[in-house]
Amino acid sequence: MMDVIVIGAGPAGLAGAIASASFGLKVTVIDEFVKPGGRLIGQLHQEPTGEWWNGIKESERLLQEAKKLSVDIRCGVSVYNLEKDDDLWNVHTNIGTLTAPYVLVATGAAEYPIPLPGWTLPGVMSIGAAQVMTNVHRVEVGKKGIIIGANILAFAILNELQLAGIHVDRIVLPEKSPLSGKAGEPEEVMKSLLNAAHLAPSPLLRMGSRFMKNDSFRKIGMKFFPKNGVKVNGTPLLLRKAAIEIIGTEQVEGVRVADTDENGNIIPGSEKIYEADFVCIAGGLYPLAELAAVSGCPFQYIPELGGHVPIHSELMETPLEGLFVAGNITGIESGKIAMAQGTTAGYTIAKHAGKGGAAINKQLQEAVQNVRSVREQAAIQFNPEINSGRRKMSELWESLYSKNTRENSQIKIG
Amino acid sequence: MTRIINHPILGKLEDKKAVPFTFDGRTFEAFENETIAAALLANGIRKLRVHEDSGTPRGFYCNIGHCMECRVTVNDQANVRACLTVVEKDMVIESGKQHPNIVKRMVEQQ
Ligand SMILES: Cc1cc2nc3c(=O)[nH]c(=O)nc-3n(C[C@H](O)[C@H](O)[C@H](O)COP(=O)(O)OP(=O)(O)OC[C@H]3O[C@@H](n4cnc5c(N)ncnc54)[C@H](O)[C@@H]3O)c2cc1C
Ligand code: FES
């Protein structure tokens, strides 16, 4: 029988598997994608030090380590339900039900779509889809594209598309609406890009950010943002243009765009069509937490973490006995942080399983400390308020569950 | 050519074994271990299905299994996600089709 089932073979899941297997636990990792590595395998950017973060290499390294520890990794397996039966968790998958006393849910994140008219046409895809097609499958998403939405992920992937020789013609904002939220407000977008400035993961972002950081420019503000945009690595970023509709019959043919005022309101009569054979929608990320939800785990809405997240401790426990979480399911952050969280979760599971003796407490402390220091040095940060979000969660845990954490840290259910 | 052969950081795309498959009766070649969505796009095909009710064209959207937009029929099994399914030799793939909407028709006839 297995001791631990890890759902998700991303950086969090793999690191968790490695950490718990290093204490002799029998670990199985399942993932519905065709290859292990999660979103890591699509990632490719230059760190501020000039070094390349090559996700394919990183996940290869994790895989080799996991294999050495006899971790069983199964790809192409989808989990659709998770429930507890006495002392065992039942993990229901398309190849049957697996059981184990400990489950680590590391399902990562999903992208917010911005459903503007025409978004269902073939050739329209999420920005992350373009990343996977380009870096993982090595297939061109098109010849000439438009990105709708300007956020840190969009810029990272713009660079990746350019590296692969794919032409991105321009970046525009989505039309301001309740569905696009802040993504449709030029000033909010500029503010978030400014916040990312010192964390720029690529020369292209540094370049764009330097421009926007410029004092005199900032004073003039959005009002005088050049109509033809500013060039980011050669691609115009148009913060004062909004996509109204994606047009085409059988597939994408272009985007209908209008000028906007400094608040993102459409200026009537300014519409224009830009041709494109592919369109990427960059709506941002949210924790993919459905499985934790069906398991009965309590949730909290913390916008700084990206939305609804399962309640968890810094040791990556949830209030449910035997259920642990790590990575983007606990809040949107970079791959390195997911990995550090996964390691913490793996040690915590080992401790719950009675492994590691007295020494494990020290190891756990170091792992928690490591998550914090990796966060401090993060080259890519999705939410500038992440620390405040993490603090909220740990206060919540302390107030609700810390009393039980002494003896038996988790609620018994089932 | 729609494949990214030379990449400045990721290097050259290795020579991979070609695998034949059919999509809506036409024969194409995929690379071994490639998803249906990637193989079709590499062959210039973006439209994977039509909406069951409205008949409007659909392709892949998220490319990682979240949105269910890429559903095709594989060896007679309907609603298989093209972005998560690896092409196998001689696989028979059909695009997702429009279904008659019985309720709508009943309402129309009233
Ligand atoms: C599209 C996209 C692009 C991103 N790009 C970047 C980037 O360029 N740089 C960066 O630093 N961060 C990026 N991120 C953030 C990214 O999520 C983290 O960097 C990191 O990969 C998170 O690690 P994780 O292990 O928590 O989750 P992931 O890496 O997302 O791994 C989760 C795994 O769980 C699997 N899974 C989910 N649900 C199920 C299920 N029901 N059954 C079976 N398997 C399941 C998935 O297939 C996936 O492999 C991106 C996120 C997304 C969604
Ligand atoms: S494209 Fe979203 S599930 Fe396949």
% of chain B residues with pLDDT over 70:
99
CA distance A357 to A363: 11
**Residue A251 in contact with partner chain B when CB distance is under 8 A:** yes
Ligand nearest, relative to CA of residue B67? 2
Domain containing residue A304: CATH number: 3.50.50.60
Q: Is residue A409 lining ligand 1, measured as CB closer than 6 Å?
A: no
- For the domain covering B17-98, report its CATH number: 3.10.20.440
A23: pLDDT confidence band, cut at 50, 70 and 90? very high
The domain of A257 spans: 124-281
Identify whether residues A236 and A309 lie together within a single domain: no
**Residue A9 in contact with partner chain B when CB distance is under 8 A:** no
Pairing of the two strands A72-75 and A27-31:
parallel
Identify whether residues A368 and A267 lie together within a single domain: no
CA–centroid distance, B99 to ligand 1, in Å, is 34
Q: Which residues pair with B31 in a beta bridge?
A: B18
Of A46, A80, A41, A45, which is closest to residue A62 (Cα–Cα)?
A41
Helix axes A335-352, A359-376, angle to 10 degrees: 170
SS3 content of chain B, % helix, strand, coil (to 5): 15, 35, 50
Of A25, A19, A46, A201, which is closest to residue A106 (Cα–Cα)?
A19
Identify whether residues A325 and A347 lie together within a single domain: yes
The residue among A281, A306, A334 that closes a domain is A281
Q: Is residue B71 lining ligand 2, measured as CB closer than 6 Å?
A: no
Of B9, B39, B15, which is closest to residue B26 (Cα–Cα)?
B39
Report whether A83 contacts A210 (CB < 8 A).
no
**Which residues on chain A are in Cβ contact (under 8 Å) with B70?**
none
**Residue B46 in contact with partner chain A when CB distance is under 8 A:** yes
In eight-state DSSP terms, residue A184 is G
Report whether A191 contacts A159 (CB < 8 A).
no
Model ipTM value: 0.94
**Residue A32 in contact with partner chain B when CB distance is under 8 A:** yes
Least confident stretch, A15-29, A48-62, B84-98: A48-62
Q: Which residues pair with A124 in a beta bridge?
A: A279
Whole-number pLDDT of residue A20? 98
Of A106, A112, A33, which is closest to residue B81 (Cα–Cα)?
A33
CA distance A295 to A43: 30
Identify whether residues A223 and A349 lie together within a single domain: no
Amino acid present at A413 = I
Q: Whole-number mean pLDDT of chain A?
A: 90
Whole-number pLDDT of residue A382? 87
**Residue B92 in contact with partner chain A when CB distance is under 8 A:** no
What are the pLDDT digits (tens) for A101-127?
999 999 999 999 999 999 999 999 999
CA distance A335 to A12: 8
The residue among A257, A281, A305 that closes a domain is A281
Domain parsing of chain B, residue ranges: 17-98
What are the pLDDT digits (tens) for A391-413?
999 999 999 998 655 444 455 55
Report whether A175 contacts A367 (CB < 8 A).
no
CA distance B69 to B79: 10
Whole-number pLDDT of residue B106? 87
Q: Is residue B28 lining ligand 2, measured as CB closer than 6 Å?
A: no
The structure tokens 């964390």 sit at A199
Give one DSSP letter per residue of A71-83, joined into a string: -EEEES--EEEEE
Q: Which residues pair with A107 in a beta bridge?
A: none
Ligand 2 atom nearest residue B60's Cα: 1
Q: Take residue A389 and report the two structure tokens written for it.
A: 């979000």
Record: contact B38-A123, CB cut-off 8 A: no
A186: pLDDT confidence band, cut at 50, 70 and 90? confident
Size of interface A-B (CB pairs under 8 A): 106
Number of structural domains in chain A? 2
Q: Take residue A336 and report the two structure tokens written for it.
A: 């390195």
A79: pLDDT confidence band, cut at 50, 70 and 90? very high
Identify whether residues A205 and A343 lie together within a single domain: no
* Residue A351, domain member (yes or no): yes
CA distance A124 to A148: 10
Identify whether residues A262 and A290 lie together within a single domain: no
Report whether A298 contacts A311 (CB < 8 A).
yes
Would you call B94 helix, strand, or coil by DSSP? strand
Identify whether residues A98 and A139 lie together within a single domain: no
Q: Which residue of B31, B40, B46, B47 is the best one to mutate when testing the A interface, meaning the one whose CB has the most A CBs within 10 A?
A: B46
Record: contact B38-A111, CB cut-off 8 A: no
The residue among A234, A255, A281 that closes a domain is A281
In this predicted structure, the answer to whether residue A360 has a pLDDT above a threshold of 80 is yes
In this predicted structure, the answer to whether residue A213 has a pLDDT above a threshold of 70 is no
